[in-house]
Amino acid sequence: MSFFDLACRSCGSRRVELFLDLGEQPHCNRLIPPELADRQEPAYPLRAGFCHDCTLVQIDYTIPKEDMFSDYPYVSGTTRTLTEHFQDTARRLTAAYGLAEGDLVVDIGSNDGTALKAYQGLGLRTLGVEPAGNVAALAKAAGVPTLNTFFNDPTAETILESHGAARLITAAGVFFHLEELHSVCEGVRRLLAPDGVFCVQAIYLGGMIENTAFDQIYHEHLCYYTLRSLSALLEPHGLEVFAVDLKPIHGGTLEAHVALKGARSPADSVARLREAEAAAGLDRLDTYQAFAERVWRLRDDLVAALEAQHARGRTVHAYSAPAKGATLLNAFGLDTRLIACAVERNPLKFNRLIPGARIPIRDEAATPRPDAYLMLAWNFLDEFLVKERGFLEAGGEFIVPVPQVRVIGAQDLPR
């Protein structure tokens, strides 16, 4: 048994027990520009632990947030699935909570403004809060008002003074990044209108466990939530989850609808998910220990599949270079011996190296096709199967690492 030398980020307990050690890893989104290729990047422990008191799963090492988010290469507008998802979410929440023209919507971690654009189209006032200067600038250029800062309680106070209370606060895919969890929760309570709703979307720990999606663990993601652990975080701040939904995006996302305590009565979905989580053992350490054992089996299977390609003289490229790809490559000790390069459509990533693995990122359109692609962004597999049908029909293969290692060829395509 090994406990983190850290108090739980949510409840302060000292009983946070290590269950998965992914080794020393560099900051996965700090892609290396070619001029720094001969310099060794720093690496930090990447270890996941389980809090025996509030059940929160978290990593223990925090790269300072100013270091992590000052220049962020991820731009949300680049995949079609995500853009459609944002539009769908905006329409759904606007209708569900009767938002009217001129109501304020605040997005925490607003990235390039893609999510808020969808609300603007519905006549709402919007304000983004985005710490990365480069993507905040993209949002402003696209006409989405954006504060280039971190969301926390002082930021909420500033917004309240300048814009008034928010009918809707959203936080999609960022609630696990936040180092100042309690200040964020206080800020949400402060900024929310009395009948306002805070909609949190976070990678769902239950889905990660079910899919063995250990590659969602990286330094930016400090916390991994279940409904139970999220509720335990929010409740001391006078916030209450009143409805939940599980979405397929990112391979399993928890969408929690949160209101000021007592403002709305909880829907059946809350009790149902709580029961499902207990039945899945998400409140027990041994569930996470079994998950860790599956991760190492996955490594053996993936290395065997890549070695088999190599032995047949076939070239393998990584198909896109998502942040989670670096976790997988570095945890499994993969490099350019088995994967020649990664191809991307995001120009911000071209000609850089994936940290640690040192695999170069190339422009997909200008790179000759390999024999097989390693699908690091396995959560978008369905979209890629449609897009790359021709590649597979011509004899190409996809190597899918998660939830099980699979090699997909033309014979596996639906007719």
Residues engaged in binding Zn ion (CB under 5 A): 8, 10-11, 13, 51, 53-54, 56
Nearer to Zn ion, 12 or 409 (CB): 12
Nearer to Zn ion, 54 or 188 (CB): 54
| Smallest distance, Zn ion to C-beta of residue 339, A | 38
DSSP code, position 152 = S
Nearer to Zn ion, 245 or 283 (CB): 283
Interacting residues of 75 by C-beta distance below 8 A, sequence separation 6+: 111, 112, 135, 138, 346, 348
Measure the CA–CA gap between 191 and 151, rounded to whole angstroms.
Answer: 11
Strands 57-59 and 125-129: unpaired
Cis check: omega of the bond before 403, within 30 degrees of 0: yes
Angle between helix 268-279 and 227-234 (nearest 10):
120
The single residue listed with the structure tokens 């300048």 is: 162
| Smallest distance, Zn ion to C-beta of residue 16, A | 7
Please give the structure tokens belonging to residue 392: 């597979």
| Smallest distance, Zn ion to C-beta of residue 10, A | 5
| Smallest distance, Zn ion to C-beta of residue 282, A | 14
| Smallest distance, Zn ion to C-beta of residue 56, A | 5
| Smallest distance, Zn ion to C-beta of residue 265, A | 27
Please give the structure tokens belonging to residue 31: 């892609």
Nearer to Zn ion, 56 or 213 (CB): 56
CB 318 within 8 Å of CB 364: no
Buried b (16+ CB within 10 A) or exposed e, 97-124: bebeeebbbbbbbbbbbbbbbbbbebeb
Nearer to Zn ion, 10 or 212 (CB): 10
Chain centroid offset of residue 5 CA: 25
DSSP code, position 71 = S
Q: Which residues pair with 188 in a beta bridge?
A: none
| Smallest distance, Zn ion to C-beta of residue 11, A | 3
The residue with its CB nearest to Zn ion is 8
Nearer to Zn ion, 11 or 263 (CB): 11
Angle between helix 227-234 and 181-191 (nearest 10):
70
Residues found in the chain: 415
Nearer to Zn ion, 14 or 80 (CB): 14
| Smallest distance, Zn ion to C-beta of residue 231, A | 12
Helices vs. strands in the chain: H and E counts, helices first: 13, 17
Nearer to Zn ion, 2 or 351 (CB): 2
Strands 253-260 and 239-247: antiparallel
| Smallest distance, Zn ion to C-beta of residue 182, A | 12
Nearer to Zn ion, 21 or 53 (CB): 53
Measure the CA–CA gap between 355 and 367, rounded to whole angstroms.
Answer: 21
